[in-house]
Structure 1
Amino acid sequence: MKTLVELFRDNPLFWMLIFVPMVLIAEAVAPSAHTLLFVLAVLAIVPLAALLSHATESVAEKTGDAIGGLLNATLGNLTELIIAVTALRAGQYMLVKASIAGAIVTNSLFMLGASFLLGGLRYHVQDYNRAGGRLHAGLLLMATIALLAPSAVADLDLSRGEAMAAKLSLGLALLLIAVYGLSLLFSLKTHKELFASEDHGEKGQAPWPIGLAVGTLVVVTVFVALVSEIFVESVQQAADAFGMSPAFVGFIIVALVGAAAEMAVAFSAARKNRLDMSVGIALGSASQIALFVSPVLVLLSYAVGPKPMDLQFWPGAVTMVMISAVVASFVTNSGRSAWFIGALLICIYAIFAMTLYVIPPGAHGPV
Structure 2
Amino acid sequence: MGHLWKEIRHNPVLWLLALVPVVLVAQRALPEAHTLLFLLSLLAIIPLATLLSHATESVAAKTGDAVGGLLNATLGNLTELIIALAALRLGQYTLVKASVAGAIVANTLFMLGASFLLGGLKYHVQDYNHVNARLQASLLFLATIAMIVPSALAEVDVAAAPDFMQKLSLGLSVVLILTYGLGLVFTLRSHRELFGGADQVASQEAPWPLNVALAALAAVTVLVALVSEVFVESVQQAAVTFGMTPAFVGFIVVALVGGAAEMASAFSGARKNRLDLSVGIALGSAAQIALFVAPILVLLSYVIGPAPMDLQFWPGAVIMVLIATMTATIVTNSGRSAWFVGVLLLMVYLIFAMTLYLLPPKIL
- Tell me which interval the TM-score lies in, with the shorter structure as reference length: over 0.9
CA shift for structure 1 position 9: 2.3
Distance 2:115 2:156 in 1: 43
CA shift for structure 1 position 200: 5.1
When structure 1 is superposed on structure 2, of 150-159 and 321-330 the one drifting more is 150-159
**Matched-pair identity in %:** 67
Distance 1:180 1:205 in 2: 31
CA shift for structure 1 position 205: 7.1
Aligned length, in residue pairs:
364
Name stretches of at least 5 consecutive residues in structure 1 with no aligned partner.
none
CA shift for structure 1 position 162: 2.3
Structure 1 residues 242 and 204 mapped into 2: Cα distance closer, same or farther (>3 Å)?
farther
Instruction: Output one character per residue of 1:301-337: Cα deviation in whole Å (capped at 9) or x when no partner.
Output: 1111111100000111000000000000000000000
> What SS does structure 2 have at the residue aligned with 1:301?
helix
User: Which residue does 1:20 correspond to in 2?
Assistant: 20
User: Which residue does 1:81 correspond to in 2?
Assistant: 81
Given that 1:154 and 1:164 are in contact with CA atoms closer than 8 Å, whether structure 2 keeps it comes out as no
Given that 2:23 and 2:41 are in contact with CA atoms closer than 8 Å, whether structure 1 keeps it comes out as yes
Given that 2:104 and 2:287 are in contact with CA atoms closer than 8 Å, whether structure 1 keeps it comes out as yes
1:4 aligns with 2:4: yes
CA shift for structure 1 position 5: 2.3
TM-score, length-scaled by structure 1: 0.97
Distance 1:8 1:201 in 2: 28
Within 5 Å, give how 1:198-277 maps onto structure 2: 198-199=198-199, 206-277=206-277
Structure 1 residues 81 and 200 mapped into 2: Cα distance closer, same or farther (>3 Å)?
same
User: Which residue does 1:312 correspond to in 2?
Assistant: 312
Name stretches of at least 5 consecutive residues in structure 2 with no aligned partner.
none
User: Which residue does 1:100 correspond to in 2?
Assistant: 100
Distance 1:247 1:64 in 2: 38
Given that 2:57 and 2:206 are in contact with CA atoms closer than 8 Å, whether structure 1 keeps it comes out as no
Instruction: Output one character per residue of 1:152-206: Cα deviation in whole Å (capped at 9) or x when no partner.
Output: 3334543343222111000000100000001000000000000011335699974
Amino acid of the structure 2 residue aligned with 1:138:
S
Distance 1:314 1:130 in 2: 32
Instruction: Output one character per residue of 1:23-71: Cα deviation in whole Å (capped at 9) or x when no partner.
Output: 0010010011000000000000000000000001000011000000000
Structure 1 residues 156 and 316 mapped into 2: Cα distance closer, same or farther (>3 Å)?
closer
1:121 aligns with 2:121: yes
User: Which residue does 1:143 correspond to in 2?
Assistant: 143
Distance 2:216 2:143 in 1: 33
Instruction: Output one character per residue of 1:251-296: Cα deviation in whole Å (capped at 9) or x when no partner.
Output: 0000000000000000000000000000000000000000000000
Distance 2:38 2:55 in 1: 26
Structure 1 residues 178 and 187 mapped into 2: Cα distance closer, same or farther (>3 Å)?
same
Given that 1:128 and 1:198 are in contact with CA atoms closer than 8 Å, whether structure 2 keeps it comes out as yes
Amino acid of the structure 2 residue aligned with 1:240:
V
CA shift for structure 1 position 250: 0.5
* Root mean square deviation, CA, Å: 1.4
CA shift for structure 1 position 8: 1.5
> What SS does structure 1 have at the residue aligned with 2:287?
helix
Distance 1:27 1:161 in 2: 42
> What SS does structure 2 have at the residue aligned with 1:108?
helix
Distance 2:322 2:279 in 1: 18
CA shift for structure 1 position 229: 0.5
User: Which residue does 1:161 correspond to in 2?
Assistant: 161
Distance 1:248 1:355 in 2: 9
Distance 2:153 2:325 in 1: 23
User: Which residue does 1:184 correspond to in 2?
Assistant: 184
TM-score, length-scaled by structure 2: 0.98
Amino acid of the structure 2 residue aligned with 1:222:
V
> What SS does structure 1 have at the residue aligned with 2:309?
coil
Distance 2:33 2:283 in 1: 36
Given that 2:55 and 2:214 are in contact with CA atoms closer than 8 Å, whether structure 1 keeps it comes out as yes
Given that 1:119 and 1:339 are in contact with CA atoms closer than 8 Å, whether structure 2 keeps it comes out as yes
